[in-house]
Amino acid sequence: MKPLEARLVRATQAGLPLVARPYAALASDLDVDEAQVIATLRDMLADGRIRRIGAVPNHYALGYRANAMTVWDVPDAAVDELGRAVGALPFVTHCYRRPRRLPGWPYNLFAMVHGKDRGEAACKIREIESVLGAHARAHDVLYSTRILKKTGLRIA
Amino acid sequence: MDELDRAIVNQLQGGFPLGERPFLEAAAALGVTENGLLERLSDLLERGVLTRFGPLFDAEKLGGQFSLCAMSVPAQDFERVAALVNAHPEVAHNYEREHRFNMWFVVAAAEVRTVLDAIERETGYPVMDLPREAEYFIGLRLAA
């Protein structure tokens, strides 16, 4: 990471300044030009180091009380294709392949599902089941019951 | 939440402009004034509807390591272990879940293993480390 990129990451981790010219305010804090700040953010968006810029909502505040991590054991040869299919479902907010840890943890595909209640989440989980069909050899659903810590990532 | 709150949450989860007056541009699309949008955003942040407003970084692409970790902790020891895990600044979030593996947290660090070794030493319980190997969707757009 270039020095200005690292400084911008630190300066914006808590969010953008809520002023009419937020990039100018950042530039003034970092002692650079507004145009440099904008160009740097644009580069980082283009290569994916910034996923997006905007509002990060709180699930619970939006009424999503049922937050389910669904985990699936699917064949390695099919996991990428199946992961893309599950990730394309409109209600799946994260979808990852992760390593199995045998014997206690046989699951290699993770999909996060949020519902207003567990009934709504369960309907969505059934849709994932129907996408995976016979490829899903086993699955489990882990509902969150409490947030123990949520500080956001501290990077750089 | 009124209509404008919903519109802000639904339309501003990404694509915030990179011009000199980004709030002015975003406000025009929402049919409000620049000041109206700024006030509403600070209100949404204050009420906890939004946790942040700004760039969302991909920690792994910025360098360093990043992993999802799980522990299986007996109920009578849960609070003690949660406090020890949370005390590490590298632990970004930590959730209690209904499962034999009942504690799930994310670690972002230059060397994840070093942090996990410390947690195992301090708590006396093993940590299951599940780094992502592939990502199939990065949406996280919740409808309000």
String of DSSP letters for A65-115 = -EEEEEEEE--GGGHHHHHHHHHTSTTEEEEEE---BTTTB---EEEEEEE
Query: Which ipTM score applies to this complex?
Result: 0.82
Distance of alpha carbon B132 from the chain centroid: 16
Q: What is the pLDDT of residue B144?
A: 63
* pLDDT of residue B19 exceeding 50: yes
Check: CB of residue A14 under 8 Å from CB of residue B56: no
Pairing of strands A50-57, B50-57: antiparallel
Q: What is the pLDDT of residue A156?
A: 42
Distance, CA of B87 to CA of B75 (rounded, Å): 19
B81-133 tens-digit pLDDT: 999 999 999 998 899 999 999 999 999 888 999 999 999 999 999 999 999 99
Strand partners, B135: A96
Q: What is the pLDDT of residue A59?
A: 80
Show Cβ contacts of residue B77 under 8 Å, excluding neighbours closer than 6 positions.
Answer: none
Nearest CA in chain A to B54: A15
Which of B9, B41, B52 has the most A C-beta neighbours within 10 Å, making it the best mutation to test the interface with A? B52
Q: Write down how long chain B is.
A: 144
Angle at B101 between CA B100 and CA B105, to 5 degrees: 160
A5-47 tens-digit pLDDT: 999 999 998 899 999 999 999 999 999 999 999 999 999 999 9
Distance, CA of A59 to CA of A48 (rounded, Å): 24
A38-74 tens-digit pLDDT: 999 999 999 999 999 999 888 888 888 899 999 999 9
Cross-chain CB nearest to B8 (options A47, A55, A110):
A55
Cross-chain CB nearest to B57 (options A19, A104, A155):
A155
Question: Between B73 and A151, where is the model more confident?
Answer: B73
* B119 min Cα distance to partner chain A (Å): 15
Q: What is the pLDDT of residue B134?
A: 94
Report the candidate in B50, B51, B27, B47 with the shortest Cα–Cα distance to residue B37: B27
Q: Which residues of A touch B13 (CB under 8 A)?
A: 52, 54-57
Helices and strands per DSSP (H, E), number in chain B: 5, 6
Share of chain A above pLDDT 90, in %: 81
Residue listed under structure tokens 């970084």: B57
Q: Which region among A90-94, A110-114, B36-40, B118-122 has the lowest average model confidence (pLDDT)?
A: A90-94
* A96 min Cα distance to partner chain B (Å): 5
